[in-house]
């Protein structure tokens, strides 16, 4: 991440009459300056500032990538808006489940009619979905109005691709099979001024049999700790109070560094940064969650009391077929260890229902784990077949009706268990980071507790970005209503 003043100094040095620099990120600064000239030309034609809209599908890492895209577009001279009627629409896609792909195709059909009415309109696609060859083939055949396509490995190249798009009358496709570098020193437009996500690593080496992520995000690559800490230090100087460290499996951070550093050790260094009051992270793989990390969380005054620990299935047999590399008993033993060290921890999880070969007995095992693990919440999904993964070749033996029945049963168990677990907080006093004014209820604001629970309480816009003490007076299932203390 680069701040605006440093960017302007870098742009001043760029001579557009010379060849672009070869090294990054200087090469992209050159193209940001060039993009400004192209946007200025468009402004003259339109008689107004061109508008842009970045639409995000998927996970927190995609959301962070979209902040980079928005930051680059801002520095290029675009005016941001939330409507897809903008002159430039960028869809940052996800491909974890098939319905995410279908949503993108639906949006493309919608935006095509707009493009017919606006000859200045451009459409760009990026993100995980674009790393699938079959997707590119379909877009080139059926959505030829798309102007730019790029993937996950070369998102830093967006300024250069943006210029290529505006100087070309054909579809630009730039997809890399794998990443050969990490380039982070580019503009970012954060959604919240008081909190921010931080990429600490990219890719995944786990190859769960149902998951497309390692194929589209690539193998694990950790950022150097000094770069991460420098970025967080700059954010703290800008008033950021809460950071979320992001990776597909943060527990394996540092394994491929020249000088290995554990994730727990990185957290200990982040905790030393003045101004940072809260530290979160996602996502943890149970097989890599160490005693060192549990103890670091236990001893920390800044690491939030929330751990997202994907289960996926409570059946050891299905876990083996998923290539998760832990058992039902192993997962439960880890959960009990966490509770024994950090009694006030909030555990959340992911669960897949309908994996190939899953039986009623397997679903009963999953329900047993939900009850014994006492999750505060769980994201429950129907299995989605992803072409190219090992699970795609496995036979689904249950009927759609059986799978839906099992899903409903798992979901109800999650809701019942979570309601009981969350209710234990009623009457407690806790600290909430005020995130926004509540648009649904007059004179109320919405905050987030350390355990990630949402709470609504009296206040106004002056509280946004501040950490306040609240009493949790009323439990509404998955959120609280409270009052300021």
| Rounded mean pLDDT, 208-225 | 93
Longest dimension (CA), the chain: 69
Q: What is the CATH number of the domain that holds 471?
A: 2.40.50.140
Mean pLDDT rounded to a whole number for the chain: 94
Residue 179 lies inside a defined structural domain of this protein: no
Do 296 and 321 share a domain, yes or no? no
Residue with the larger pLDDT of the pair 96 and 85: 85
One domain, residues 269 and 367: no
Q: Match 């451009």 to its residue by tokens.
A: 122
Query: Has residue 182 been placed in a domain?
Result: no
Quick one: average pLDDT of 43-60? 94
pLDDT given for residue 79 in this prediction: 97
Give the global pTM.
Answer: 0.90
Beta-sheet strands, E only, within 306-416? 306-308, 346-353, 377-382
In the predicted model, what is the mean pLDDT of residues 58-67? 90
Which of 6-15, 236-245, 254-263: highest mean pLDDT? 236-245
pLDDT given for residue 6 in this prediction: 79
Six-digit token string for 61: 């890492």
Claim to verify: residue 72 and residue 120 sit in the same structural domain:
yes
pLDDT at 183: 84
CB 309 within 8 A of CB 369: no
pLDDT over 80 at 2, yes or no: no
Residues 204 and 326 reside in one and the same domain: no
Distance of CA 314 to the CA centre of its chain: 25
Residue 52 is part of a domain; what is its CATH number? 3.40.50.280
375, burial (CB in 10 Å: exposed 0-12, middle 13-18, buried 19+): buried
Task: Name which residue leads in pLDDT, 216 or 390.
Answer: 390
φ and ψ of 460, to 5 deg = -140, -170
Considering its fold, how many domains does the chain have in total?
Answer: 4
pLDDT score, position 7:
84
Report CA dihedral (80, 84, 86, 92) to the nearest 10 degrees.
60
Read off the CATH number of the domain in which 240 is found. Answer: 3.30.750.210
- Domain boundary (279, 304, 329) is at 304
Please say whether the beta carbons of 318 and 363 come within 8 A: no
Residue 183 resides in a domain:
no
281 or 95: which leads in pLDDT: 281
Residue 449 Cα distances to 212, 304, 309, 419, 455, angstroms = 33, 9, 18, 17, 7
The pLDDT value recorded for residue 273 is: 98
For residues 161 and 58, membership in a common domain is answered with yes
Specify the DSSP class assigned to residue 194.
Answer: S
- 453: domain range? 429-484
Beta-carbon contacts of 132 under 8 Å, excluding residues fewer than 6 positions away, are 95, 212, 216, 387, 388
Domain membership flag for residue 16: yes
Q: What is the mean pLDDT of residues 362-375?
A: 98
Pair (299, 341) in one structural domain: no
Q: Decide: helix, strand or coil at residue 58.
A: coil
User: What distance in Å separates the CA atoms of residue 351 and residue 381, rounded to the nearest whole number?
Assistant: 6
End-to-end CA distance of the chain: 37
Residue-wise pLDDT tens digits, 312-328: 999 999 999 999 999 99
pLDDT above 90 as % of the chain: 87
């Amino acid at each position: 991440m680069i701040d605006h003043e440093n960017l302007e100094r870098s742009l001043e040095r760029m001579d557009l009459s010379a060849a672009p620099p070869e090294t990054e990120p200087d090469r992209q600064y050159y193209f940001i300056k060039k993009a400004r000239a192209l946007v200025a030309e468009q402004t003259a034609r339109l008689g107004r500032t061109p508008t842009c809209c970045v639409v995000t599908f998927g996970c927190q890492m995609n959301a962070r990538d979209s902040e980079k895209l928005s930051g680059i577009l801002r520095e290029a001279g675009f005016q941001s808006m939330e409507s897809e009627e903008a002159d430039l629409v960028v869809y940052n896609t996800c491909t974890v489940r098939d319905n995410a792909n279908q949503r993108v195709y639906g949006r493309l059909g919608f935006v095509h009619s707009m493009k017919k009415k606006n000859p200045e309109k451009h459409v760009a696609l990026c993100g995980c979905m674009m790393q699938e060859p079959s997707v590119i083939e379909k877009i080139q055949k059926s959505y030829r109005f798309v102007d730019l396509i790029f993937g996950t490995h070369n998102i830093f190249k967006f300024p250069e691709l943006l210029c290529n798009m505006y100087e070309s009358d054909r579809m630009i496709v730039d997809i890399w099979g794998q990443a050969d570098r990490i380039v982070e020193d580019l503009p970012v437009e954060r959604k919240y001024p008081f909190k921010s996500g931080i990429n600490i690593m990219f890719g995944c080496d786990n190859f769960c049999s149902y998951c497309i992520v390692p194929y589209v995000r690539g193998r694990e690559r950790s950022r150097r700790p000094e770069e991460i800490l420098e970025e967080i230090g700059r954010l703290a100087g800008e008033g950021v109070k809460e950071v979320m460290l992001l990776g597909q499996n943060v527990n394996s951070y540092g394994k491929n560094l020249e000088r290995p550093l554990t994730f727990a050790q990185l957290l200990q260094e982040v905790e030393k940064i003045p101004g940072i009051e809260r530290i979160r992270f996602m996502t943890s793989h149970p097989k890599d969650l160490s005693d060192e990390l549990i103890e670091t969380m236990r001893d920390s005054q800044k690491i939030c009391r929330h751990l997202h620990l994907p289960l996926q299935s409570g059946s050891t047999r299905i876990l083996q077929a998923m290539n998760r590399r832990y058992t039902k008993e192993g997962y439960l033993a880890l959960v009990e260890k966490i509770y024994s060290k950090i009694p006030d921890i909030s555990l959340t999880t992911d669960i897949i229902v309908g994996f190939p070969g899953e039986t009623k007995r397997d679903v009963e095992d999953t329900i047993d784990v939900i009850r014994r693990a006492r999750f505060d919440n769980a994201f429950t999904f129907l299995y989605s077949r992803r072409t190219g993964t090992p699970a795609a070749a496995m036979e689904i033996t249950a009927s759609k009706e059986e799978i839906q029945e099992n899903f409903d049963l798992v979901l109800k168990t999650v809701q019942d268990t979570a309601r009981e677990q969350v209710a234990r907080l009623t009457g407690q006093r806790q600290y909430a980071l005020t995130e926004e004014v509540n648009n649904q209820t007059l004179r109320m604001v919405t905050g987030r507790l350390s355990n990630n629970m949402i709470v609504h309480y009296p206040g106004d816009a002056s509280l946004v970005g501040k950490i306040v003490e609240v009493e949790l007076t009323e439990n509404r299932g998955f959120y609280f209503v409270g009052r300021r203390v």
